[in-house]
Amino acid sequence: MSPPEISRKTLGLKPIAKYPNKAEACQNCAKYFEESFKQINNTIQSLQETITTQNDVIMKTLSEHKVLTERILYQEVTQNNLAFTFPLDSINGLSEINETINENNRKDYIDRMKAMLKGRLSKTLTEIMTTNLCMHINLDGVHGKKRLKDFPAFYNTLTDACRLLGSQDVEADIRNALKIIKKRFIHAKCIQNKNAKPNN
């Protein structure tokens, strides 16, 4: 069986009716594509600017978060280090901390002292200075004791912490607290000596 005969026809391509000649049609096509590419380029440029702006915002936010994280870590490390500083147990320790406190870390020391001094000062001051150290100091250096005011960085930090806790007369409160601590120690020592004596 022979294959069917295929009828072939040639279709004549005519320019779009709107453009009666091919040259005009090509020019308008070129103009159309040029405008389309221009719009695409404008869109791409706008997207690039948006991405750049968003990247700047993201980088700024990350930078701020980094600074905040570093600050929090620094505060935690500082507070942990300060926890091992107190209570002071000697004049040497008092002298060392007086040299350590400066404008950069003073607030950290104030915050730490403030946290430790909550409550009656006569009971909480020994969290900052042991009873042993309190027995060897007073504010004015009388009676052969070391003068606490001779350690100004420490003393001013201590008074600021007390003031933030509501003390109206800081110097009087510290003076009174030291007296009570000393009396308490002497009283406990007397009882200890009395109990140590053999019964008759």
Interval 110-120: pLDDT, tens: 999 999 999 99
Q: Percent of the chain, pLDDT > 70? A: 78
Q: What is the mean pLDDT of residues 138-165?
A: 97
For residue 106, what are the contacts with CB-CB under 8 A and spacing of at least 6? 153, 157
pLDDT value of position 66 = 75
How far apart, in whole angstroms, are the C-alpha atoms of residue 85 and residue 74? 16
Longest CA span, the chain: 147
Which of 16-20, 121-125, 155-159 is least confident?
16-20
pLDDT band at 25 (very low <50, low <70, confident <90, very high): low
Which of 48-62, 129-143, 166-180 is least confident?
48-62
Q: For the segment 88-103, what is each residue's pLDDT rounded down to a tens digit?
A: 999 999 999 999 999 9
pLDDT band at 56 (very low <50, low <70, confident <90, very high): confident
pLDDT value of position 12 = 45
How far apart, in whole angstroms, are the C-alpha atoms of residue 181 and residue 139? 14
Q: What is the mean pLDDT of residues 179-192?
A: 94
Place of tokens 């009873």: 131
- Average predicted confidence (pLDDT) for the chain: 84
CA distances to 75, 102, 116, 185 from 19, in Å = 78, 86, 92, 112
What's the 3-state SS for the chain? CCCCCCCCCCCCCCCCCCCCCHHHHHHHHHHHHHHHHHHHHHHHHHHHHHHHHHHHHHHHHHHHHHHHHHHHHHHHHHHHHHHCCCCECCHHHHHHHHHHCCCCCHHHHHHHHHHHCCCCHHHHHHHCECHHHHCCEECCCCCCCEEHHHCHHHHHHHHHHHHHCCCCCHHHHHHHHHHHHHHHHHHHHHHHHHHHCCCC
pLDDT value of position 23 = 58
For residue 133, what are the contacts with CB-CB under 8 A and spacing of at least 6? 87, 88, 89, 90, 91, 93, 94
Place of tokens 């420490």: 154
pLDDT value of position 196 = 80
pTM above 0.75, yes or no: no
